[in-house]
């Protein structure tokens, strides 16, 4: 008798954002349902509690959807704006658990993607560089990535290093967005591509123009937690160094 074991391959995990907030919303929603039940349906306060509970449940679901599906839609729209030769040197700023970083590495043959982040625990995120490495190992691209602890406002790279610089949902966390933009443009090669996906990314257009970015494309990508996220794509001018 031959016994076959079905060993499931470990799946990548790109994380769930805002877990403490979503947990609090869930607990509050359930508590309000319980209180409404105790008051009985005939009581007008019971109806109000049920309505508030339903609203909180919708917020919770929206937060889960945003992390599990919404950011994947955003990723796909970002990569639809990129063309690969397979030998690019790329930078992902604020790489989190490696969603863009690993997707980029899968497009490369002999290129390389560097991901930078500070991986500080916040209410929204609690990721580590080890999580990125594990996801890359599962996807089989660990030899095409590198992760570095660094600040977007002071990137530890020489001028004109990268063919593509990208960042997603990072800029609204940066204290000095203007400084971060100057750093992105500094490390980008002339004729290189810069992509910023964020809440109201179009607000950076004038700063990017001043820094030497041209040929803009702006697209409304997806709503995450009810907030519209836009993608802005531009090219560094040949004369900019």
Lowest mean per-residue pLDDT among 10-24, 121-135, 195-209, 221-235: 121-135
Closest among 196, 118, 199 to 154, alpha carbons compared: 118
166 beta partners: 92, 195
pLDDT grade, residue 124 (50/70/90)?
confident
Predicted structure pTM score: 0.89
Return the domain boundaries, the chain.
Answer: 19-72, 81-236
Asked if pLDDT for residue 44 goes beyond 90, the answer is: no
Round to whole Å and give the CA distance between 35 and 52: 12
126-173 pLDDT, tens digit per residue, is: 889 999 999 999 999 999 999 999 999 999 999 999 999 999 999 998
**Cα–Cα distances in Å, from 241 out to 53, 158, 188, 192, 207?**
55, 11, 9, 11, 16
**Fold for the domain defined by 81-236:** Rossmann fold (3.40.50)
What are the residues whose beta carbons fall under 8 Å from the beta carbon of 216, sequence distance 6 or more?
A: 205, 208, 209, 232, 233, 234
Helix spans in the chain (H): 19-39, 44-65, 71-79, 99-106, 129-139, 177-187, 205-211
């Amino acid at each position: 008798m031959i016994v076959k074991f079905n060993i499931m391959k470990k799946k990548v995990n790109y994380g769930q954002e805002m877990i403490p907030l979503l947990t609090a919303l869930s607990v509050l929603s359930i508590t309000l349902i319980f209180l409404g039940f105790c008051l009985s349906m005939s009581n007008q306060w019971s109806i109000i509690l049920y309505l508030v509970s339903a609203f909180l449940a919708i917020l919770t679901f929206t937060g889960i959807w945003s992390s599990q599906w919404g950011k994947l839609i955003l990723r796909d729209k970002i990569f639809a704006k990129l063309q690969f030769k397979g030998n690019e040197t790329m930078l992902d700023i604020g790489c989190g658990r490696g969603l863009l970083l690993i997707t980029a590495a899968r497009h490369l043959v002999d290129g390389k993607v560097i991901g930078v982040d500070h991986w500080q625990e916040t209410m929204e995120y609690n990721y580590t560089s080890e999580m990125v490495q594990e996801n890359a190992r599962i996807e089989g691209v660990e030899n095409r990535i590198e992760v570095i602890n660094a600040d977007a406002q002071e990137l530890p790279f020489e001028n004109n290093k990268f063919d593509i610089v990208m960042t997603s949902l990072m800029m609204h966390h940066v204290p000095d967005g203007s400084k971060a933009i100057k750093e992105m443009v500094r490390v980008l090669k002339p004729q290189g591509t810069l992509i910023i996906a964020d809440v109201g990314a179009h607000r950076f257009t004038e700063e990017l123009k001043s820094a030497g970015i041209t040929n803009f494309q702006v697209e409304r990508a997806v709503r995450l937690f009810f907030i519209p996220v836009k993608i802005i794509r531009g090219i560094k001018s040949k004369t900019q160094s």
